[in-house]
């Protein structure tokens, strides 16, 4: 019986039908109703090893060789660097801001040894 049957009967002016009583033992052993959509579990599909994966490549954030750091630099310096990097990318030389910082820090470390 629908859980809204009693409400529907009340609106129509009829008496709600009494639910058939079930013995208490049956309630304990009775399995809950499972919807068909819950019965169907998606199969795990694995891609062949030889083909590259689809979607975005993993970024530096998920690479354990990189660590995010924060540094305070002047706004005018940051803006000028971004403009120069954009000019270079128009000429076919694309370099990210973090790659530039990495390169400059590597050079600084070499000069210290």
Question: Helix, strand, or coil here: 18?
Answer: coil
CB-based contact 102:65 (threshold 8 Å) = no
> How large a percentage of the chain has pLDDT more than 70?
67
| Predicted structure pTM score | 0.49
Residue 8: the pLDDT is 75
pLDDT of 1-17, one tens digit each? 677 777 777 777 766 56
pLDDT of 6-56, one tens digit each? 777 777 776 656 666 666 555 555 555 655 555 566 666 565 567 777 888
Q: Residue 108, CB half-sphere, CA atoms under 13 Å: how many?
A: 6
**CB-based contacts of 37-44 (< 8 A; 24+ apart in sequence):** none
- Number of other residues whose CB lies within 10 A of the CB of residue 3: 6
């Amino acid at each position: 019986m629908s859980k809204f049957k009693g409400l529907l009967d009340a609106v129509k002016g009829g008496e709600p039908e009494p639910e058939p009583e079930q013995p208490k033992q049956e309630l304990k052993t009775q399995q809950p109703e499972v919807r068909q959509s819950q019965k169907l579990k998606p199969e795990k599909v694995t891609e062949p090893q030889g083909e590259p994966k689809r979607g975005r490549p993993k970024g530096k954030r998920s690479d354990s060789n990189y660590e995010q750091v924060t540094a305070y630099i002047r706004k005018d310096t940051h803006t000028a660097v971004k403009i120069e990097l954009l000019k270079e990318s128009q000429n076919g030389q694309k370099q990210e801001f973090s790659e530039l910082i990495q390169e400059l820090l590597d050079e600084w470390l070499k000069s210290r040894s």
